[in-house]
Amino acid sequence: MSRMRGTRLEYARGGRSILRDVSIELIPGEISVVLGPNGAGKTSLLRILSGELKPDSGSVTLNGRDLASLPVRELGQTRAFLQQQTHLDFAFTVMEVVLLGRSPFMTGGERPKDYEAAEKALQQVDLSDRAHDSYTTLSGGEKQRVHLARTLAQMDHPEADLPRYLFLDEPNNNLDLAHQEMVVRAARELAQSRIAVCMVLHDINQAFQIGDVVHIMEAGRIALSGTPGQLAPSPEIDRIFKISLNRIPAPEKACTQLVASS
């Protein structure tokens, strides 16, 4: 079946429980947003779903197969993961960094289609004019956009038979408002291409505007799940985030907009 399932996931480190009995389903064509206070387990959940970490118990299946059984190359062709912070100190050009996303598809050197995917991704993140610059000379926001382009290039596999999965851990880090909107636009375009997008966000209002499904985590568990319309406003959300939120009309957009009460 074309979906990813994490079932009864448990994860602990240093004697501290980080994930407790977490079950989640990602469906190609949908944008899932994971919200929650600091330390709720959001990043650990994404790392387990992407295959970066192994759970202590529970299972993750991708399109009906055990995630842990997939060959590295096949996993790289099926899912991409933009981490919250990526450190790269080599003097690669921007283009060379983006081409790293194409490595699961290469058997030798780069092919014309790899350069096409990289150029398309750089155009999507508004960095086409920096393709031949050294990555180390970029600002923090520009570096974040380069790594987003790398994951977009990795997802550029239109001949793939199976649906794909993109994980974005706080993709708006260091980005101005215009480029935050770019992330939203890219996520929506990918979802329209049979890609399941799962992202961690901290901005609850943005999350409720972007997400088809929102999962709210608390203390290692998924406390609430549903569409934005099903979830907001909610006393449980107020309790989890320790702030009172109200819905305000937004007739110009078909979305839920929340504001904090004074």
* DSSP labels, the chain: --SEEEEEEEEEETTEEEEEEEEEEE-TT-EEEEE-STTSSHHHHHHHHTTSS--SEEEEEETTEEGGGS-HHHHHHHEEEE-S-----S--BHHHHHHGGGGGG-SSS--HHHHHHHHHHHHHTT-GGGTTSBGGGS-HHHHHHHHHHHHHHHH--TT-SS-EEEEEESTTTT--HHHHHHHHHHHHHHHTTTEEEEEE-S-HHHHHHH-SEEEEEETTEEEEEE-HHHHSS-HHHHHHHTS-EEEE--TTSSS-EEEE--
Spans in the chain with pLDDT lower than 70: 1, 158-161, 246-262
Q: Tokens in use for 104? A: 């699961």
Q: What is the pLDDT of residue 248?
A: 62
Q: What is the pLDDT of residue 163?
A: 84
Q: Which residues touch 232 (CB under 8 Å, ≥6 apart)?
A: 208, 245, 247, 256, 258
Q: Tokens in use for 80? A: 């991409």
Q: What is the pLDDT of residue 262?
A: 42
User: Domain of 169?
Assistant: 4-260
Q: What is the pLDDT of residue 118?
A: 97
CATH of the domain at 157: 3.40.50.300
Question: Are 98 and 146 spatial neighbours (Cβ–Cβ below 8 Å)?
Answer: yes
Burial 62-80 (b: 16+ CB within 10 A, else e): bbeeebeebeeeebbbbbb
Q: What is the pLDDT of residue 4?
A: 95
pTM value?
0.90
Rounded to an integer, what distance in angstroms lies between the CA atom of residue 170 and that of residue 149?
A: 15
Burial 129-149 (b: 16+ CB within 10 A, else e): ebbeeebeebeeebbbbbbbb
User: What domain count does the chain have?
Assistant: 1
CB atoms under 10 Å from CB of 262, counted, come to: 4
Q: What is the pLDDT of residue 253?
A: 47
